[in-house]
């Protein structure tokens, strides 16, 4: 399995110009994502891939058009799907008797600002209670068009999870019945868990000295 290098991070917090107060400014870490895995995957992963391909075929959807790659890394399976086919893949994972991933544990956003055209990721952990198996779905959207189809009608418990991911990352889940902020105030500007969100803060007085907010302190980058 070859890795996919999408960028490099400088300093402890990846700061550029301001904000890194760690003293690790000369530390450079490559941002490397696992690449596509080759068959055989091992365990039940091959069966899941085969049954997913068969189920999509019965829906008139080509497996190669819906699935970009499958990554098996550290004994966990992640199925990377195109965003337009996300509901069909999720429905197949849920409904096929040989798959029966009845439970989705939510959706987590991830922001990779250096991955051009695929900056925003959404990750869906699935569990089959019937077969005692786990898998993940992952899809992407660009910063310029941060839209994904909602999975609310496939997994209704994703209601609040999609709102949280919208709130913190700015991913817009088309078709969600009430896509509003869930933790930040309705008039809040920006999405606080994105990598490009400013650290912000307020000055703090301590023993007669004033400590500046994090994004105004000296940078070691």
Residue 84 falls within a domain, yes or no?
A: yes
What pLDDT score was predicted for residue 154? 98
Residue 203 falls within a domain, yes or no?
A: no
Residue 183 falls within a domain, yes or no?
A: yes
Contacts of 196 (CB under 8 A, 6+ apart): 111, 113
User: In this predicted model, what pLDDT tens digit does every residue of 23-64 receive, in sequence order?
Assistant: 555 677 777 888 899 999 999 999 999 999 999 999 999 999
User: In this predicted model, what pLDDT tens digit does every residue of 13-30 receive, in sequence order?
Assistant: 555 555 555 555 567 777
Residue 204 falls within a domain, yes or no?
A: no
Give dist(CA 32, CA 147) in Å, integer: 25
What pLDDT score was predicted for residue 221? 47
Residue keyed to tokens 């105004």: 216
Q: Count of alpha carbons within 13 Å of 14, Cβ hemisphere only?
A: 16
Residue 168, domain extent:
36-190
Count the domains in the chain: 1
What pLDDT score was predicted for residue 21? 54
Residues of the chain under the 50 pLDDT cut: 221
What pLDDT score was predicted for residue 12? 57
Asked if residues 123 and 140 have their Cβ atoms less than 8 Å apart, the reply is no
If residue 209 lies in a helix (H) or strand (E), which one and from where to where? strand 209-211
Residue 27 falls within a domain, yes or no?
A: no
Question: If you ran DSSP here, which 8-state letter would residue 184 be given?
Answer: S
In the three-class reduction of DSSP (H, G, I as helix; E, B as strand; rest coil), residue 48 is classed as helix
The CATH number that applies at residue 88 is 3.30.460.80
What pLDDT score was predicted for residue 13? 53
Residue 196 falls within a domain, yes or no?
A: no
Residue 119 falls within a domain, yes or no?
A: yes
Asked if residues 109 and 101 have their Cβ atoms less than 8 Å apart, the reply is no
Residue 129 falls within a domain, yes or no?
A: yes
């Amino acid at each position: 399995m070859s890795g996919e290098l999408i960028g490099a991070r400088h300093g402890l917090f990846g700061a550029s110009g301001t904000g890194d107060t760690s003293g690790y400014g000369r530390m450079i870490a490559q941002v490397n994502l696992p690449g596509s895995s080759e068959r055989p995957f091992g365990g039940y992963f091959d069966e899941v891939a085969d049954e997913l391909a068969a189920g999509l075929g019965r829906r008139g959807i080509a497996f190669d058009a819906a699935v970009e790659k499958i990554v098996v890394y550290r004994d966990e399976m992640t199925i990377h799907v195109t965003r337009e086919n996300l509901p069909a893949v999720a429905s197949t994972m849920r409904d096929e008797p040989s798959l029966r991933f009845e439970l989705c544990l939510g959706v987590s956003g991830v922001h990779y600002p250096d991955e051009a055209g695929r900056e925003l990721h959404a990750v869906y952990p699935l569990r089959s209670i019937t077969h005692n198996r786990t898998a993940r779905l992952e899809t992407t959207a660009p910063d310029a068009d941060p839209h994904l189809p909602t999975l609310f009608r496939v997994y209704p418990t994703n209601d609040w999870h999609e709102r949280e991911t919208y709130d913190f990352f700015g991913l817009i889940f088309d078709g969600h019945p009430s896509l509003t902020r869930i933790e930040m105030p309705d008039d809040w500007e920006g999405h606080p868990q994105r990598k490009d969100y400013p650290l912000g803060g307020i000055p703090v007085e301590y023993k007669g000295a004033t400590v500046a907010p994090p994004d105004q302190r000296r940078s070691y980058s």
